[in-house]
Structure 1
Amino acid sequence: MRSRPSWTAECDDLARFAPAPLYERIKRLISERITLGHWQPEERIPSENELVRDLLVSRMTVHRALQELTREGLLMRIQGVGTFVAPAKPEYSIFEIRNIAEEIAERRHEHSCEVRMAREELATPRTAEALTVPPGAPVFHTICVHYDNGIAVQMEDRYVNPQAAPDYLAQDFTKITPTLFLTRVITATDVKHVIEAISADEETARCLDIGRDEPCLRMIRTTWANKLPVTHVVLTHPGRRYRLSGVFSPAKA
């Protein structure tokens, strides 16, 4: 009988995860090795063929386990290259107004932006309420998708008050992000943040290249400058690729 390979010798037999289905046991074995640090972020794991050979299971079972772990964000699969441990989720600040391009650059990754929409509109009642401008007032509307090393990590749906930033639509947002431009021309005095968990609708799923109804994190930010409404933006992140965080110091008594 063939001896078990060295990479599985560090763990007990798959039977210890019984009575879970076989594909679920494989998921748990792989998850355990990642959690214990045996496989590091961005490290290549054994291929489907190797897992089939080493674990003595069917290809269909291995494929399902890898597919589900990829969908859950623990693994990433690159066509023709292999399967890798997903990098740690980057964090997006909830208390600061930060330029996502700078955050991505700090991780030594490459930022890119696709502009899906950039136009002037008349504010609908809903938009007017969100941006705190009169209904029917002109507003600028942009939709951008931000990428981290070619992977969509944020959908930015933004309305801007032309009185606050009249040159907004003249910018090339593939070279300067809307956030960076606005922070250069406006000093925010009041900021409101709302965070919610959502399921991706059809447009969000298409923009972020994720499944319909996949969990997402959404941050809604409204900004004013000396009571002048500046911008209302909805930032949507795939839940399996991003996490929101914040640190603050409570006021001392």
Structure 2
Amino acid sequence: MSGTAKTDGNGGIALYQRIRNDLEGRILSGEWPPGYRVPFEHELMDTYSCSRMTVNKVLSGLAAAGLVERRRRAGSFVSRPKVHSAVLQIPDLKAEVENRGEQYSYKLLDRQKRGALKRDKARLEIRVGSPVLALRCRHDADEQPFALEERLLNLSAVPEALKQNFSVIPPSTWLVDHVPWTEAEHRISACNADKSLAADLQIEAGAACLVIERRTWRNGEPITSVRLVHPGALYDLVARFTPAG
């Protein structure tokens, strides 16, 4: 009974926070990826020498924060990252193309591991020379270019990306499935296609294009920066919301 008093009495709050910080850190660091089964309550009780009430409070708090999903009789599992945005969600280009009734395809155009350049410093907020993986990809709808993707991955944050050749699975799909993030930023603009971009998108030079730039972080550490360019005639943005947001 003395052990229970230490965890659920005056020291209960401190112990709860220590366990919460420990589990949350494992999730946000990627040590426990999306879909990972969190240890059962009795396992956590043994690990931290605490009561079931304390463990239940920790798991309930993580579930309320959207970090874990509790399933009856099955246990608790690390949640897939969720997007909360009043304007724009992180796009699933495959789903968007298929929802239009068209066939989706994807092609990796270029893959380079290199040191970050001066222009990369502004995009990814990392030091010049830091290791990055630079990717160029094209997403097609019915064999016509739908989007050109230019992406930088911070290899200090996601070194496991080097093991992926991304010739089959788009980098965005792999990131959502394997790399948790805590903050995202979107920037929407427009441009006129220069000769190089026009050739990649199979449009006329000077044609209007929609540009979506996105950056993600995990606990303040940059993960990726991506620039998606769509032919203006093929893409629009729609948001529906209430006066209260």
User: TM-score, normalised on structure 2?
Assistant: 0.61
For 1:160, the equivalent position in structure 2 comes to 153
Q: Return the alpha-carbon distance in structure 1 between the equivalents of residues 198 and 219 of structure 2.
A: 36
Q: SS of the residue aligned with 1:175?
A: coil
For 2:226, the equivalent position in structure 1 comes to 233
1:213 aligns with 2:196: no
**CA 1:230–1:94: 2 relative to 1, 3 Å:** farther
Q: CA offsets, 1:51-95, max 9 Å, x none?
A: xxxxxxxxxxxxxxxxxxxxxxxxxxxxxxxxxxxxxxxxxx961
Match for 2:193: what amino acid? Answer: A
State which of 86, 110, 130 in structure 2 corresponds to 1:137.
Answer: 130
**Which portions of structure 1, spanning 4 or more consecutive aligned residues, are displaced by more than 6 angstroms?**
none
For 2:163, the equivalent position in structure 1 comes to 170
Which range moves more in the overlay, 135-144 or 107-116?
Answer: 107-116
Q: CA offsets, 1:148-203, max 9 Å, x none?
A: 11110100000011123223243343432111101111222111111111000122
Q: Return the alpha-carbon distance in structure 1 between the equivalents of residues 184 and 94 of structure 2.
A: 21
Structure 2 unaligned blocks of 5 or more: 1-85
Q: SS of the residue aligned with 2:234?
A: coil
**CA 1:166–1:213: 2 relative to 1, 3 Å:** same
Q: SS of the residue aligned with 2:228?
A: strand
- Matching of residues 115-130 of structure 1 within 5 Å: 115-130=108-123
Structure 1 unaligned blocks of 5 or more: 1-92
For 2:180, the equivalent position in structure 1 comes to 187
Q: Return the alpha-carbon distance in structure 2 between the equivalents of residues 250 and 134 of structure 1.
A: 42
Contact preservation (8 Å) 1:217, 1:238:
yes
The count of aligned residue pairs is: 160
State which of 99, 104, 109 in structure 2 corresponds to 1:106.
Answer: 99
Match for 2:197: what amino acid? Answer: T
User: TM-score, normalised on structure 1?
Assistant: 0.59
